[in-house]
Amino acid sequence: MDTVKRFVKYAILLILFWIISDILINVGIDSMYKDMNQKGNIPEGIQVVEVQSTKVNGRIKLTAEGENLSGKFIKVDLYSDIDNHLGTQYLEIGNLAENEIKNIETYFKISETKSYEISVVDEAGESTEGFMDTAMTAMTVLVLVIKFLFI
């Protein structure tokens, strides 16, 4: 009976350690993100929720509202601190009804990004490598590790 209690105690301690370390890691990573500088004006109907970067990656969260944006694309240009163009991505807005708000987010792995410019275009061009549609959350990483271990 003592060995079962000891096993349960170790299992609970392991789970608590995992939860606490996951929380501390997420807080540490979030504190590394800094706001980026805006170049130019934001087009009407587009609102910037969050545009932040670290030394190696970043995240962009926008909202689009208005029927005049329906079927268009948001062009995001990224620049270094000396205004070198680092990358471009085209984000599809899709069809928007009147007073409909669409949340758009993207992530990128481009180093030393310091500023951004946002515009609305009718057609999508070619996007630069380094952009991702989703972030690698802890659950995504866990699923990928399990998948690689058993397949």
3-class SS of residue 41: coil
3-class SS of residue 103: strand
**Residue 148, domain member (yes or no):** no
Q: How many domains does the chain have?
A: 2
Same domain? For 51 and 14 the reply is no
Mean pLDDT confidence for 37-45: 87
3-class SS of residue 42: coil
Mean pLDDT confidence for 122-140: 71
What strands, in cross-sheet order, belong to the sheet with 58-65? 34-35, 46-53, 58-65, 101-108, 131-132
Task: Supply the range of the domain harboring residue 128.
Answer: 34-139
Same domain? For 2 and 74 the reply is no
Same domain? For 39 and 103 the reply is yes
Read off the pTM.
0.70
**Residue 20, domain member (yes or no):** yes
pLDDT at 137: 59
pLDDT range class, residue 139, cuts 50, 70, 90: low
3-class SS of residue 145: helix
Beta bridge partners of 79: 85, 115
Same domain? For 14 and 74 the reply is no
What is the CATH classification number for the domain harbouring 72? 2.60.40
User: What span, in angstroms and rounded, lies between the C-alpha atoms of 104 and 101?
Assistant: 10
Residue 136 has pLDDT above 60, yes or no: no
pLDDT at 140: 67
